[in-house]
Structure 1
Amino acid sequence: MDTLASTTLSALPDLWDRIFGSQPDPDLWVVIATLVAALAVVVPHGVWRISRNTVTIAHEGGHGLVALLTGRTLTGIRLHSDTSGLTVSRGKPYGLGMILTAAAGYTAPPLLGLGGAALLAAGHITLLLWLATAMLLVMLVMIRNAYGVLTVFLTGGTFLLVSWLAGPQVQAAFAYAVVWFLLVGGVRPAFELQAKRSRGGAGDSDADQLSRLTHVPAGLWLFFFHVVSLCSLMGGGRWLLRL
């Protein structure tokens, strides 16, 4: 028993260094290749219909996280096969907490990408993967439909396998691909929402809910989504490309 405890204690510093230590930056060609890969799953419409599920996870996760941080009671998250989602929380249907919760959806993917780019620029590749895995596991507890459970479970399982079993080069390529995807993929949903609203659709979108909550035109909230996503892409891209 003492031997087991001693072995466990001696392994803790190694695990700490593995998670919180820094790793060397990948070659520039790897960074560019992962950018191209991210564009390849965001730009083509057919592929985007599948890969958009991951952006929806970040979108609904943003709603849920901010709801909790502002004191609301998160009751559940649903993810649907058409890449839509729904986050339900209890609390006052007005006020700052509700406004921040509604604003967190479209801004969450690009801001997560920006945060990920900051971690990668600091060399914390493994830490990024472990943080993403932890967030997905926490989110899994709040999922309330089978498709959502499957989607988050597969996504979290992929992160866990890569962070635990893959070598440094594979981890780096995977981490950069994920961050590029969040940065690039975080731009497209706001343009899709703009197109739907121009055709008279999406009357209950996040922008329209925010308009009712704040009496600020929905178009200005849509502009805000564009600013956050494009600025995150430019700032995160500079960090990833070491400019």
Structure 2
Amino acid sequence: MEATSFAQVWQDVFSTQTAPPQWLVIATGVVALVVVVARGPWRVARNVVTIAHEGGHALVALLSGRQLTGIRLHSDTSGVTVSRGRTSGIGMILTVAAGYVTPSLVGLVGILLLLQDRITALLWISILVLTAMLLLIRNVYGVVSVVGTGAVVFLISWFTPAEVQAVFAYLFTWFLLLAGVRPVFELQVQRSRQPSPHSDADQLDRLTGVPGTLWVVLFGVVNLATLGAGVWLLLF
């Protein structure tokens, strides 16, 4: 992006870009899958999933009328979003349920933008969302994670040619779409090995009376369905 004024920046952000060839769309999907499956890359990239997860909790908390206190992101890729309000009811249930499905849903929204060739818009919307989320972060590691992620997106959107932006945008979107599935399986494994009353599924168990395992299944079904829809939209 070589804009010299605010008006030109605005125009560049919301203009359309040339869609990449289909082989490149497939290639970025394969790379994203490797990142999700491979242990080393996943441990680093999972921080992005945590940002989306906690962002989902925060957004739904605000939409349901709860008072958002803050977000903490931890180096073990866990996180916590604290809000004030009723300790039961639909608002609390939706807030807790939002986390595990948000990364996949954000990936699907990204795909809808990419299908309209809004590559730069996708990158800048991501920057704006990360900036808003930064205001809610309450620990140093969380600030580093959000700023680092935002800096990468900004540098690519501002200093690289359209072709590089397209590769990154598709890779980023594929990653969120695919990465939403793995944490659900990790959640159930963790619940089996080290039961915790603080997991989202177990909180929902107490809030609704529906067993936590069924909530895990629901998370998995939603994310797999979202993944299927995303694959169909991108490749067929």
TM-score (norm 2): 0.95
Rounded to whole Å, the distance in 2 between the matches of 1:95 and 1:191 is 27
Cα offsets for 1:75-128 (capped at 9, x unmatched): 110000000001001111111111110011001100000110111111111111
Instruction: Return the index of the structure with the highest Cα Rg.
Output: 1
Question: What does residue 99 of structure 1 align with?
Answer: 93
Counterpart residue type for residue 41 of structure 1: V
Q: Residue 198 of structure 1: CA displacement?
A: 2.4
1:134 maps onto 2:164 in alignment: no
Q: Which structure 2 residues correspond to residues 49-198 of structure 1 after superposition, within 5 A?
A: 49-198=43-192
Cα offsets for 1:153-175 (capped at 9, x unmatched): 01011111112222110110000
Q: Residue 200 of structure 1: CA displacement?
A: 4.5
Counterpart residue type for residue 234 of structure 1: G
Q: Residue 224 of structure 1: CA displacement?
A: 1.0
Rounded to whole Å, the distance in 2 between the matches of 1:114 and 1:215 is 30
Q: Residue 229 of structure 1: CA displacement?
A: 0.8
Where 2:185 maps in the other structure, the secondary structure is: helix
Counterpart residue type for residue 176 of structure 2: L
Rounded to whole Å, the distance in 2 between the matches of 1:114 and 1:220 is 24
1:236 maps onto 2:230 in alignment: yes
Q: Residue 69 of structure 1: CA displacement?
A: 1.1
Partners of 1:42 and 1:48 within 8 A in 2: yes
Rounded to whole Å, the distance in 1 between the matches of 2:229 and 2:159 is 31
Rounded to whole Å, the distance in 2 between the matches of 1:211 and 1:114 is 28
Rounded to whole Å, the distance in 2 between the matches of 1:202 and 1:52 is 21
Cα offsets for 1:27-74 (capped at 9, x unmatched): 112111211211121101232122111100100111111111111111
1:222 maps onto 2:216 in alignment: yes
Counterpart residue type for residue 88 of structure 1: V
Q: Residue 215 of structure 1: CA displacement?
A: 1.1
TM-score (norm 1): 0.92
Q: Residue 15 of structure 1: CA displacement?
A: 3.0
Where 1:142 maps in the other structure, the secondary structure is: coil
1:204 maps onto 2:202 in alignment: no
Counterpart residue type for residue 117 of structure 1: I
Question: What does residue 44 of structure 1 align with?
Answer: 38
- Matched-pair identity in %: 57
Counterpart residue type for residue 109 of structure 2: G
Partners of 1:79 and 1:145 within 8 A in 2: yes
Task: Give the aligned CA root-mean-square deviation in angstroms.
Answer: 1.4
Gaps of 5+ in 2: none
Question: What does residue 18 of structure 2 align with?
Answer: 24
Where 1:94 maps in the other structure, the secondary structure is: coil
Where 1:88 maps in the other structure, the secondary structure is: strand
